[in-house]
Structure 1
Amino acid sequence: MILVIDNYDSFTFNLVHYLQELGAEIQVERNDARTASEFLVLEPTGILLSPGPCTPDDAGVCLELIQKLPEHLPLLGVCLGHQAIGQAFGGTVIGAKTIMHGKTSRIRHDGSGLFADIPDNFVATRYHSLSVEAKTLPECLRANAWTADDEIMALQHQKRPIFGVQFHPESIASEHGHQLLENFLQFCKLRGDPS
C-alpha cells in the first residue's frame, strides 16, 4: 500500500488517480490526521507527500515523518513534499527565482533515480513560489533535475530511496508523469520490504 499524505491540495487526487491507474493500492490521509509514528505503523510500502498551499513548516507532520522514516522505505515528495524533503535534511526553502503558477518549463536531468527511461529536456508544469536553495543542499541530498536557469527541479537522497520533484508530474501539461510515478512504484516494489 502506498500512503499518500494529503497536504490539503486539489492536486492530491490527480496523483492518487495516476497511481491507481498504475495498479497501486492507495491510502490517503490528511497531514494532520495522525502522528508521524501512527502513519508509520500502517506499514506502507512507500509514501508520497503531496503538493500543498503552505510551507514545509506548516505541512502537518511531514517534516517529522521524513525524519522518522525507516531507511528502507521509499518516499516521493511532490512540490511542497519536495521542499519538505530538502528542509528536513537541512536545506533551506527560499522564494523561487520566478513564481510559477500553471506554467511549463523544460526540465533537464541526469537520468538517475526517477528519471530512468524519461527523455532529457521534457516539459513539466510548475505551481510554486518557493524552492530548495541549491547552495544549502546537505551532502546526503543531490539535485538531479534542473530548469534552464538552474533552479532545482528534483532531489534524490545519496543512499536512501528518497526522491523529490518540484514540478507536477500529475498535471495534464507535464510529459512523462506516468513514467516518473511508475519508476517510484518500482522503487517501492524493490525496496519497500526490509527483508
Structure 2
Amino acid sequence: MQARLILEDGTVFEGKSFGAAKHSFGEVVFNTSMTGYQEVLSDPSYCGQIVTMTYPLIGNYGVNRDDFESIRPFVHGFVVREHCEVPSNFRNQQTLDSLLKEYEIPGIYDVDTRKLTRKIRQFGTMKGMITTSSESVESFLEQLKSTPNMTNQISLVSTKSVFSSPGRGPRIVLVDFGSKHGILRELANRHCDVIVVPYNTTAAEILRLRPDGIVLSNGPGDPKDVPEAIEMIQGILGRFPLFGICMGHQLFALACGADTEKMKFGHRGGNHPVKEWATNRTFITSQNHGFAVKEESLTETDLEVSHSAVNDGTIEGLRHKKFDAFSVQYHPEAAPGPYDSGYLFDRFLDMVAEHKKEVNPYAITR
C-alpha cells in the first residue's frame, strides 16, 4: 500500500505503508541512533511526534518483551528508509510491523530519510502527517494548518496514581512526567525504595510520603505547559536532594527562575558528546529533547552550568549553588545509548546519604 508523509510547508515524501493503515498528525523529528528503535518507539517523550530514524535499516532484530521503556508506544508515526519484514535475532518475539499495527501507529518506508533530515535541520521541526489516503495534498495542508500543536502530552503519559517499587535503601520519590523504565531500573538496581507519583502531585503530598530524595523524570512537550509542576518543585527545593532528568532538568531551571526556549530541531540520538566542566571530561550521551534552558536567563538565579553540549554549546547540566540539587538535559539511564553517565545516579544517592546525616526533616520536636 502506498503512503505519504506531508509536511506543513507542502513538501511530500512518497513511500510505502507499514503498521496501521491510517493517517496521523504530529511534529516531525529525527533520531540518529543506530540501534534501539524499540526503546525509541516506547519512550513517552516522543508522545505527539512522528519520528524519523536516520539509520537506514530498521526492524532487523524485531521486537521483544524486555526492551520496552514504557507500557506502550506513544509516537504518532514512524518514518524509515528500509523496513525489515523478516527479523532475525534470538530475542525476537514480534515484528516491528505487527507492533505498530497493535497500537494503531502508522509507519512509512522507502522514504529518502537523508533528504528529510536535511530539511528538518535547515528549516527546523514542523508539523506533518502520515496518510494512506489518496485525497489531495491541498486538503491535508488545510487540516495541518488548522491542527494545533499538542500541549497535554505529559498528562497523557504520566501515571494516574501513586505506586511503589519497594526496596531496602533510601526512599526516592520519582515524579513521573513520562518516565522511562530505565530510570526506575537504575534506582532499583541501587536498592532504592521508589515511590512513583503523577506529574501534578503537590509538594504537600510529596512531603507526606517522607522521601529521602526526589527525582524529576523525562517527559514530552514544553515544560511551560505544566506550571503546577514548577510550583511543586519550588515547594520542595532545599528540603531534599533533587535530581532532574531531561524534562525534569527544564522544570528545575524554570522553578529556580531561569527560562527555556524551543530548539530549531532538538537533540535526539545516542551519540551526543557532553562536556562536564568540573572534570573537563567528555561523555557520549543519549538525548531526546526539543527545548533547552537559555543560558542568559541564569544570571539572576542560584544556578550554574555543570555540563555543556560539545556540538552546539547548549546547556546540558545545572547545579544549584545553595541546595543539594542538580540536573542534566540528557539521559543517564540511556536505553538506547551509552551508559557513560550512569555514575550520576550514584552521585545523587551519595548526596542523599550525606543529607540524611546532616538533617532529619521529620524529627518531632516538643
Pairwise TM-score range, normalised by the shorter structure: 0.7 to 0.9
Residues in 2 aligned to 1:176 and 1:52: alpha-carbon distance in whole angstroms: 21
Residue 16 (str. 1) matches residue 177 (str. 2): no
1:31 maps to 199
Q: Is the 8 A contact 2:283 2:341 kept in 1?
A: no
Matches within 5 A, 1:17-96: 17-32=185-200, 34-59=201-226, 61-96=228-263
1:135 maps to 296
| Partner SS, residue 102 of structure 1 | strand
2:153 maps to none
Superimposed CA distance per residue, residues 80-125 of structure 1 (whole angstroms, 9 cap, x where no aligned partner)? 000001111111110225412224211111237xxxxxx7111001
- Larger radius of gyration, structure 1 or 2? 2
Shift of 1:55: 2.2
Q: Is the 8 A contact 2:333 2:339 kept in 1?
A: no
TM-score for both structures, normalised by structure 1: 0.88
Shift of 1:166: 0.2
Residues in 2 aligned to 1:111 and 1:97: alpha-carbon distance in whole angstroms: 28
Superimposed CA distance per residue, residues 20-39 of structure 1 (whole angstroms, 9 cap, x where no aligned partner)? 1012111111112x322111
Residues in 1 aligned to 2:193 and 2:237: alpha-carbon distance in whole angstroms: 20
Q: Which runs of 5+ in 2 are unaligned?
A: 1-170, 361-366
Residues in 1 aligned to 2:207 and 2:356: alpha-carbon distance in whole angstroms: 12
Residues in 2 aligned to 1:42 and 1:60: alpha-carbon distance in whole angstroms: 22
1:108 maps to 275
Shift of 1:178: 2.4
| Partner SS, residue 291 of structure 2 | strand
Q: 1:189 aligns with which of 353, 357, 360?
A: 353
Q: Is the 8 A contact 2:216 2:245 kept in 1?
A: yes
Residues in 1 aligned to 2:174 and 2:320: alpha-carbon distance in whole angstroms: 20
Residues in 1 aligned to 2:190 and 2:239: alpha-carbon distance in whole angstroms: 22
Residues in 1 aligned to 2:244 and 2:219: alpha-carbon distance in whole angstroms: 11
Identity %: 27
Residues in 2 aligned to 1:60 and 1:91: alpha-carbon distance in whole angstroms: 14
Q: Is the 8 A contact 2:304 2:321 kept in 1?
A: yes
Residues in 1 aligned to 2:178 and 2:187: alpha-carbon distance in whole angstroms: 18
Residue 175 (str. 1) matches residue 339 (str. 2): yes
Residues in 2 aligned to 1:24 and 1:181: alpha-carbon distance in whole angstroms: 11
2:315 maps to 152
Superimposed CA distance per residue, residues 120-140 of structure 1 (whole angstroms, 9 cap, x where no aligned partner)? 111001100000000101330
Q: What is the letter of the counterpart of residue 319 of structure 2?
A: Q
Residues in 2 aligned to 1:124 and 1:57: alpha-carbon distance in whole angstroms: 25
Q: Which runs of 5+ in 1 are unaligned?
A: 113-118
2:89 maps to none
The number of residues matched between the two structures is 186
Q: Alignment RMSD, CA only?
A: 1.9
Shift of 1:48: 0.4
